Structures are given as structure tokens and as C-alpha cells.
Structure 1
Amino acid sequence: MGFKPTVEIPIFLATLSFMLTASVSNNLLIYRTCYIVLHYNKTECALLGFVTNNETEKLELLVSPTSTYIALVNTIVQSVLGSVLCLFTAPWSDRFGRRPIIVMGFIGGCISMLFHIIFAAFELTPWFIIVPSLTVLLSGGGASFITILYAYLTDLTNKDERGWRIGIFDLAMAAGVLIGMSSSSYLLIATNYVTVFSIGAALQTVALIYVIFLLPESLQHRETSNLVSGFFTLSNLAEMVKTPFKRRENYTRAVLLLTLLSMLLGYLAMGSAGIFFYFVRTKLQWTLTAFTLYGTVQNILGIFGAVFVMYLLHTYFKIREIFLILVGMFFSIISTVMFGLANRDWQIYLGAVLNLPASGQNSLQRSLVSKLVHEEEVAKIFSTLSIGANVLGPLSAIIYTYLYNTFINIDPGLYNFFTAGVQACIFLLFLLAVIIQCRGTSQPYKNFQNENNIQEDESENIIASNTDSC
């Protein structure tokens, strides 16, 4: 089974750029909030994230609620704009091609990095952090952009190779996360904010050049007229909304809807990731270096875990996605509870270890969903998830910001128990999907190949069925 890299290289570069600058951007936001908005001593504010003592601990508690509020507004702006555009980008790409949306997404990444350089170079209000987020208008938002990339891979693969190709794609992002997070704080200490964001801009530029000159279009049959008017075609939206609810054989619709619902609830719990940075800084007095060290370890574990789950268990031993997902969900709950109980650094690391069986969950879930529907419906289903992510994103951010700020003086980590509760609901929903699938049929899912994936010597579409029984 050959492998020719396509979107894996640019998404690695883009993820590396994002993670190299993400925690640095958060640190800059806290610093600017401290002395520009709250008018504390600039010299003392500059120590936040770099020095831990009684004064910085007290100052962190005072600054954290305001900085998290600014971050919340930024998330809402991204999500609202992304939700609107996501309604149109994926249906448009189904008709006119994936490549234009992908190119626009990487252009947006370059422009965003340029705005970050301006933010770092001049002593601007921390509210300026919202300006780079407006580049979501070019890509439809992170969730929508990733959806198009997954659809691109779906166009190029058949059901047998799709799981591991999505896994490689996720590993490329994980590698970018690992390298970016592990080096960001050290790079900042060795240089300055402007230099870090400039390196991020350079990485985005290389990714854009790769996409423009080396990434081919994945759709062989696409429309070429009415490109602008076709972007706002409402019939495409109606079809996208109807797709998850179509009648399907052997309880497949019920399994699909329960799987999608569990994934959407997962987006509701994603706000915890945005609060984690503030949580460990406030409760455990982690410096930026300590945080990036943990992120490095966490991502190394995640990469090895994903290889073990996706390649060894799923691809080699042929253990079906649905069971690996269920096990991963169970351990996610245990891991989150450990985070909530943590009072020492080692307990945070133990939580990361406990989360190992959940590695590769995103790849497994998307692979499963792609096998429950027709090939031409995959992008529409992924778009539905993307819209859900954009809608639930701000709601999640609001909930977690409220929980964190409410209990910050009691226990900053209490929000983790809310996350564990959501994960428990997700586990039960997916368990119900497993039960329905096992009782309904001995054919867990059907994957319909479209004409683009048929070998040239075949005259008809082939329906490829996985006949493993529960």
C-alpha cells in the first residue's frame, strides 16, 4: 500500500506555526492585560509566566479572569463567523473543488500571523487579539478548514486505506503540535515575541507556497461556472441538513445520529482545553516553560498512542473503530477526573498517561462516520460536524470561563468534573450506538464507492461491505 503525501506536509507546517505561537500569544495577552487594561506595574507584569513567587501568584489570580474574558470574546468572534461561512464552504467545495478553499485557508493563516507580528511589535490593547481572528472570513474557521482537508483525503482514498490515511494526517498535526509546543517557550526566552511570530509567519508562507504549486485538485468532476453565485446556493444547505437524517438500512441511521451526537457533545467539552493553560498556571504555579514541557510530553504520548491504536490495533489486528472508540472514551473520563483531583505536577502527567487509549479518537470517529454514509455524503456530514463545532465552541467557552472564574478562589480545577460528566454522557450515547449496531445487523456499516474511486476496468459502482460481526 503506497503512500504519497498531499495535505500532510502543509498541515504539519500550519500546525507547527499555530502551536509555536499559541501559548506565546496567550502569555502576551496576559501581559498586556496586566499593565494596559488593569494598570498594574509593567515590570511585575512582565514576570508572569516566567517567574514564580508569592507576588506573581497573587497577580496571576487578579489578571486571569480578565484575560480569560478577552480570550472568550475572541473565541466567540471566530465561532460566529466560522459558523456562518461553514454553511457555504463545504457544499461549495463539493461542486467546485476543494483546492480553492484550502488555498484561501492558508492565505488566512499568513495574514493572521502578520497581524500577530503587529500586535507584538507595538504596545496595543489586548483586545487587538481579535483582529487576527477576522481572517476566519477567508477559511470559514479552523473546524471548517479541517473539514475540507478531511474531505480532500476522502476524495483520494477508498474505505480500506481511509482510516490509516486520516491517521497519518492527524499524526502530522500531532507532530506539529509536539515540536511547536515544546520549543515555543524556549524560543521566546531566547528571542522575543516578534521573532516567534515572524517564524510562525514564515512557516505559514512555506505551507501556502506548497499548496499553490504542489497540491492538486482532488475532485475529478467539478463545475467551472457560477463560482460566486454557487457559493450562496440554499439548496446545497438544505441537502446538507437532510443528509444525517436520511433513511438507511440496518439501523445505520440510528448509529450515525448517535455517533454524530456524541461527537458534538465532545465539542461542548473542548472549552476545557482553552482553560487548561490558566488552570495549571493558577493552581500549580506553572511557568510558560513548565507548561510547554508538559505539552511536549503529552504530545509524545499522544503520537505513540495514536500509532499503537490506529496502526497496530485497528490496521494490523483489524479491531473495529467502534470498540476502540468506546475504550478510549472510558479512559478519557478517568483522565479528566485525575486532572480535577490533581494537587501535584505528577498527577497532571498521570492524567496524560491515563488518556493514552483515547489517542487517535478523532481519526477513528471520522473513519467510522465515512463508512456509514455514501461517498458523496461524507463532506456534508463532516460539514455538519464543523457547524456544530463552531456553534458549540462559543457556548463551551462561555461555560468554562464562567466555571473557572467562579471557582478560581476555591479550586481552579473544579471545571474538570463538569468535563468528566459530559464525557460520561458521550460514553453512554456511543455505547447505545454499539448495542444498536450489534443487535441490528451482522454488517456494521456499508461504504459506498462513487465513480471517482472505481478502477478504470470496472463499469459500475461497487458497494464494499465490511462483514465483520459484533
Structure 2
Amino acid sequence: MDRVIADWRRYILMQPPMMLLVLAMSMSGTILTDLIVYRTCIITLGINKTECLILHNNSSSEEALRINTKVQPQASLILMSKSFIESLFPSVLSLFLGPWSDKYGRKPVILSGYIGGISVLMLASFCYITDITDNNERAWHLAWLDAFISLGVLIGLFSGPAVYEAYGYTAVFSIATTLCTVATLYIILFIPETVQSHTSGICNIFDFMFVKDLINTCIKKRDGFNRSLVWSCVACLTLLLIAFQGNLAIGYLFASARLGWTVEQFSIYIATSVVMGILGTIFGIKLIRRCTGFSEAVVAIISVISSLCTALVCAFTWQSWHMYLSIGVGIFGDLSRPMIRTILSKAVPEKDTGKVFSLATFLETLLPFAAASLYTFLYSHYMPPLYPLPVWFLSAAFYIITIIILIYIQIHMRSNIISFTPMIEDNNSIH
């Protein structure tokens, strides 16, 4: 662990470039979807430009709805393929890059995130923050990273459509490219390496021994290494991600069908939710973690209970202000993930951090596609005016299971002192 890095610098190492990348993705994501729909209309289906422009200029008209019935099925196939590729490739890549970074360094993996996707960059960020922080301050720095990511999403959601309306597609993608370039230069110039290696190891990235080493690390029995704690943390992160991605998939559909909200009204709701999430994360750690002295597991339980309350309020929503009430009761909902990742980082030796985070990232990257399909399927069969809405109870069930696992983690951590026995490398291990 690099202790030469000054305390204040730890707040401006991974956070700014991560925020810039998320901002670029957020501002260009919706615009890219719109571009795919528009180009599908003109090129794939051969509809004249004047008619396709109705999708922009008068999207609620009967003519626009007629065109959408032709365009959206084709565009959906492209978007589904894009989502599948963005989930599958980075998830497989993360199995190699995490163990590789334990041996050859974090910085190359951070830079490769701009090729491998946001999940690879998140993996590298978690490993890097684990390297430069101790057990007491790690939760705060991971939460600070989450806050910067949320800020990037918020800025991107509002700036993307505004830039598009004023200057068009080219300006949006040009700005996004510039932001990614600035983030890359920031990493190259200002982020020091925390794992020193005398060789580059580039040729060994896709060595399957890394995956074998990862599996052995996570499943091989060792004195003082409690596998159930590691797998319990991974299970919690997995369940929380399923609920998050599912809620994201049906959120607008629900608000539109139940309350008659427009895209603008839902955007304001999302922006409010992001802002409250940032405040809840920053002040939640100060108030709950530091003032009360609660352990990470207890704080995570409080956070998941907050998310559970949000799901229940949404299930019984029939007026617009109820949706904002759900934001209020769920203000601490974003605290759980950094707390659980902190527990996970403490449950493994420092040299195995990349391996364990790789496993978690692998599952977290694969799940969004399946989670969205599950929630959309349930919602389409039981949608408003059905009341209360069953799909929110699915989220509630995931949160309750997570709370039970976290209670087990808390009991286990109080009754056990974690100590590690290094794995003995055999002749097949990586040299």
C-alpha cells in the first residue's frame, strides 16, 4: 500500500477521471439511442427524412406513433445487441484483468477501462482505492467515489439534451470524446502506480492461469480465510444490483402508466433522486458511521432498509408526491454498496484484492441484462391499474434477503477475527 500519497490527494486521484468518463457516457448515452432510432428510420427502413423528423419534432403525434411501431422493433434489436456485447465482453475481461493487476499494476487496467468499458474501470478503481487506504478510511473513500459518479450522471443527463438541441449530434459526441481524452491524460500524468512490477506483463493478460488463480483464491480452503464472508458480500452486491437495474428498467414505465408523467417530469424526479443520493451518501457516513461508531455491516443494513422503504412506497403510490416521498425514505440507499465493498476488501489479503473484486465485477456486469428482462417481464404481466404493483414487491424481496445476509455477516464479524494464510503456489501457478 502506498503510504507516500498525501491524505488530501487521495480524494482527487480516481474520483475526477471517473466522474469525467461517467459524464461523457451519461450525456451521450440517450443521444446515441436517439441517433440509432433516427438512422434506423432513414437507412434501414428507407422512410423519408421528413417523416423521420416527426420523431423529434412531434413525438406524441399519431404519425410519430405509427412510425415508431415500425422503427422501434428494429432499433431494439440493435440496442439489445449493443447491451449484450457491453455486458459479455467486459465481464469476461474482468476475470483476467483483476488478477493481472495484482501482479503487474493497477494503472494499465485503469487505462484499459476506456477500451473495456465502465465495469473494468470500476474494478480498477476499487482495487486502487483499496491500495491507498487503510481499513478505517476505506468506506469513506469508496462512498466519495460513488458520489462523484452520481454527480457525473446528473450533469450528463441535463447537459446532453441541451447540447444536442443547440448544436446537434456531432457536438455531443465531440464533447464526450474530449472528456474521455482529458480523463485519460489525467490518469497518465497524475495517478501514481501502487503495485510495482519490473515487467509489463502485456503478453500475459489473457493467460488462463489468472482465472485458475482467481477461482482458487475464492474457493480454496485456507486457515483464517472465511470463504462464506467473501461469498456473502458477493451475494449482497449481486442482489442489490439486480434490484437497482430492475427498478431502472421499469421506473419510467411505471411513472408514466400510474401517474401520467412525461419524460421531463421523470427527469426532474431522477435528478432529485441523484442529488438526494449524493447527500445521503456523504452525510450518511459522517452521521451514521463516524458519530455512532456502527460497523460497516450495520450501516449497510440501515441503507438496505432505506431502499426497502423506497420499494414499498413505490408499490403503494397513487399520487405524484408519493414518488418524492420514496426519495426521502430512501436517502441512505446508496450507502450499502461502498460498505459491502469495504467489508469485502477487509476479508481478503491485499495481494488478492484484484481477484475477489474481479469475481464481483464479473457477476455485476452480466446481471443488468437479465435483471432488466426479469423486471420488464413481470411488469408487463402485472401493470397499472393493478394496485399495489407486484414488481416493487420483487425488489422488496431482494432487499429482505440482502438484510438477512448482512445480519449473518455482522454476527460472523463480531465472533471471528479475520487472519490470512497466504496461498502456497504450486508448479502451475503464475510466475
Instruction: Tell me the TM-score normalised to structure 1 length.
Output: 0.76
Are residue 434 (structure 1) and residue 407 (structure 2) matched?
yes
1:110-259 equivalences in 2 (<5 Å):
138-139=115-116, 141-219=117-195, 221-224=196-199, 227-247=201-221, 252-259=226-233
The aligned length equals 413
Residue 427 to residue 35, structure 1, CA distance change in 2 (3 Å): farther
Change (3 A) 1:436 1:22: closer
Map of 1:54-453 to 2, 5 A cutoff?
55=62, 58=65, 62=69, 67-106=75-114, 138-139=115-116, 141-219=117-195, 221-224=196-199, 227-247=201-221, 252-272=226-246, 275-276=249-250, 279=253, 283=257, 286-342=261-317, 344-403=319-378, 406-407=380-381, 411=384, 417-418=390-391, 420-435=393-408, 437-438=410-411, 440=412, 442-443=414-415, 446=418
Quick one: distance in 1 between partners of 2:67 and 2:276? 30
SS at structure 2 position matched to 1:217: coil
CA contact (8 A) 1:97 1:218 kept: yes
- 1:347-384 C-alpha deviation (Å, 9 max, x unpaired): 43333333212122221111121122222222211100
Correspondence list, 1:13-32, <5 A: 13-32=20-39
Q: Pick closer, same or farther for the CA change 1:251–1:446 going to 2, 3 Å.
A: closer
Indicate conservation of the 8 Å contact 2:280/2:332, yes or no: yes
**Deviation per residue, 1:284-326 (Å, 9 max, x gap):** 6655544432332111111111012222211343222212212
- Matched position secondary structure for 1:158: coil
Instruction: Please list every run of 5 or more consecutive structure 2 residues that lacks an aligned counterpart in the other structure.
Output: 1-5, 423-431
Aligned-pair identity in percent equals 26
Q: Is the 8 A contact 1:75 1:397 kept in 2?
A: no
The AA in structure 2 aligned to 1:209 is L
Deviation at 1:256, TM superposition (A): 2.7
One-letter identity of the residue aligned with 2:297: I
Deviations 1:152-203 (A, max 9, x none): 1111111112111112111111211122223333333233222122111111
Q: Which amino acid aligns with 1:375?
A: E
Distance of 2:343 and 2:262 partners within structure 1: 40
Q: Quick one: which amino acid aligns to residue 86 of structure 1?
A: S
- What is the CA distance between 1:76 and its match in structure 2? 0.8
Letter in 2 for 1:153: I
Matches of 2:393 and 2:136, distance apart in 1: 34
Distance 1:263-1:436 versus aligned 2 partners, 3 A rule: closer
2: CA distance, partners of 1:414 / 1:178: 31
Asked if structure 2 preserves the Cα contact closer than 8 Å seen for 1:337 and 1:416, the reply is no
**Secondary structure of the corresponding residue to residue 159 of structure 1:** coil
What residue is the counterpart of 2:429 in the other structure? none
User: Alpha-carbon deviations, 1:202-224, whole Å to 9, x = none?
Assistant: 111111111122221121x3241
Structure 1: tracts of 5 or more residues without a match:
107-137, 451-470
Letter in 2 for 1:23: T
Counterpart-to-counterpart distance in 2, 1:380 and 1:361: 21
TM-score, normalised on structure 2? 0.82
Q: In structure 1, which of residues 7, 26, 29 is the aligned counterpart of residue 14 of structure 2?
A: 7
Mapped to 2, the partners of 1:170 and 1:78 lie a distance apart of 21
Provide the aligned C-alpha RMSD in A.
Answer: 3.5
Is the deviation greater in 247-256 or in 8-17? 247-256
